[in-house]
């Protein structure tokens, strides 16, 4: 307790199950002498307190036994003291005497009631367990290499699709509707390059380089490449149709957001707007893309019938050949099945992404 004729600083306190925190209001404290003797904390020190620059002291008999070792840290504004309780538990008050010493007050910055303190303790334990658990999972020695490879792949695709998108947009502004008719001749080489490279997107999940299934990218890559190489590539008459413009424009619109999103993921970075665009733009674009592709397939059916390109030779008894247009009619039905599978997949990915973000925010 404070003795008469000595200056006493203001002292604020709070407790946890295992320790007592004291905050002594003394700035620029020097010559500190802080110890616990016979369950009494004795404090002496010089500094700037309630009565200006002076020597201040106080002593405090604790309600229950504490350990003899005291830790303290002085900052420019105060001295922080931590005393360990001998037995874990919650104290009704700090001082042995029933009447609270005048210089003592609760530290509301650190104050917790018993149940909050238990919650804090549990959270700390959970965090510690998580760190222990994570430290036991062996780190992947090739992680850097994998991320570097994925980053480069996504960068190349981003550059390719950006070129396509910008080129088509500029041509649309300059030539207007005329640009619809020669999209294929100006864009196809780069589109071939990007779509051949996109086969890697089926390989990546198969090698567990990315966290997704093989089927959705397989449907995506097969669907696009079937259209690009067979329906457009094998039939010159299809190449100057305006539908090619819409297909290429829809493909490149999603990709100029999807690949930068992956690039950022490779360097553990996220831009909220980009994430939102990657997981939202497909909602209108995917069905539009499938409709445009279906229009191209339908337009190509009479051309394949007429030119007999890719028709299957049949034994003489069954006729001369089987037109590729039958395969295309079957493919039209499969396309909508593909749309259903990938639409459901993308919906799940969107939900997973935004649910994970909501959890993080809470």
Ligand X SMILES: CCCCCCCCCCCCC[C@@H](O)CC(=O)SCCNC(=O)CCNC(=O)[C@H](O)C(C)(C)COP(=O)(O)OP(=O)(O)OC[C@H]1O[C@@H](n2cnc3c(N)ncnc32)[C@H](O)[C@@H]1OP(=O)(O)O
Give the interface with ligand X as residue ranges (CB under 6 A).
150, 154, 210-212, 216-220, 222-224, 250-251, 254, 258, 262, 265-266, 282, 285-286, 289-290, 293, 334-335, 338-339, 342, 346, 349
Alpha helix stretches (DSSP H) within the chain = 114-136, 143-175, 183-197, 200-206, 215-225, 236-239, 242-266, 272-278, 282-307, 324-361
- Catalytic residue, from 118, 286, 331, 347: name it: 286
Please give the Cα distance from 172 to 192 (Å, whole number).
21
**What is the closest distance, in whole angstroms, from the C-beta atom of residue 320 to ligand X in the complex?**
29
- Catalytic residue, from 21, 293, 306, 331: name it: 293
Q: Phi first, then psi: what are they for 6, rounded to 5°?
A: -110, 150
293 part of the active site = yes
* Residue in the shown chain whose Cβ atom is closest to ligand X: 289
| Choice between 73 and 211, CB closer to ligand X | 211
| Choice between 91 and 286, CB closer to ligand X | 286
Strand partners, 42: 35, 59
Alpha carbon separation from 115 to 55, 178, 193, 246 (Å, rounded): 38, 73, 62, 62
286 part of the active site = yes
Two structure tokens written together for 298: 């339908």
| Choice between 117 and 332, CB closer to ligand X | 332
At which residue do the structure tokens 């592709």 appear?
A: 293
**What is the closest distance, in whole angstroms, from the C-beta atom of residue 87 to ligand X in the complex?**
46
**What is the closest distance, in whole angstroms, from the C-beta atom of residue 163 to ligand X in the complex?**
17
Q: Phi first, then psi: what are they for 21, rounded to 5°?
A: -110, 130
| Choice between 7 and 156, CB closer to ligand X | 156
Please give the Cα distance from 243 to 79 (Å, whole number).
75
Active site residue ranges: 286, 293
């Amino acid at each position: 307790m404070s003795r008469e004729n000595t200056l006493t600083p203001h002292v604020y306190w709070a407790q946890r199950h295992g320790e007592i925190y004291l905050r002594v209001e003394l700035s620029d404290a020097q010559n500190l002498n802080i110890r616990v003797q016979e369950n009494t904390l004795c404090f002496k020190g010089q500094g700037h307190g309630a009565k200006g620059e002076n020597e201040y002291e106080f002593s405090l008999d604790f309600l229950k036994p504490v350990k003899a070792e005291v830790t303290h840290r002085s900052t420019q504004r105060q001295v922080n003291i931590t005393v360990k309780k001998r037995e874990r538990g919650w104290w009704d008050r700090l001082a042995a005497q029933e009447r609270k010493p005048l210089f003592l007050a609760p530290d509301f910055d650190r104050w917790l009631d018993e149940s909050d303190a238990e919650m804090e303790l549990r959270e700390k334990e959970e965090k510690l367990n998580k760190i222990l658990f994570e430290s036991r999972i062996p780190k992947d020695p090739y992680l850097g290499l994998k991320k570097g490879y994925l980053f480069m792949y996504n960068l190349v695709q981003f550059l390719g699709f950006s070129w396509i998108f910008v080129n088509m947009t500029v041509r649309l502004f300059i030539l207007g509707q005329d640009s619809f008719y020669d999209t294929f001749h100006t864009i196809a080489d780069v589109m071939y390059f990007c779509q051949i490279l996109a086969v890697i997107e089926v390989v990546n999940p198969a090698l567990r380089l990315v966290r997704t299934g093989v089927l959705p990218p397989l449907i995506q890559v097969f669907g696009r490449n079937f259209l690009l190489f067979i329906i457009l590539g094998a039939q010159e008459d299809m190449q100057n149709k305006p539908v090619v413009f819409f297909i290429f424009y829809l493909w490149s619109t999603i990709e100029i957001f999807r690949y930068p999103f992956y690039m950022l993921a490779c360097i553990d970075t996220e831009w909220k707007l980009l994430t939102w665009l990657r997981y939202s733009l497909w909602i209108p674009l995917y069905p539009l893309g499938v409709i445009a592709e279906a229009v191209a397939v339908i337009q190509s059916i009479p051309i394949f019938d007429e030119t007999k390109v890719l028709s299957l030779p049949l034994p003489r008894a069954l006729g001369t050949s089987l037109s590729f247009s039958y395969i295309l009619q079957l493919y039209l039905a499969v396309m909508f099945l593909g749309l259903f599978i990938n639409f459901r997949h993308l919906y799940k990915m969107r939900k997973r992404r935004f649910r994970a973000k909501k959890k993080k925010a809470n």
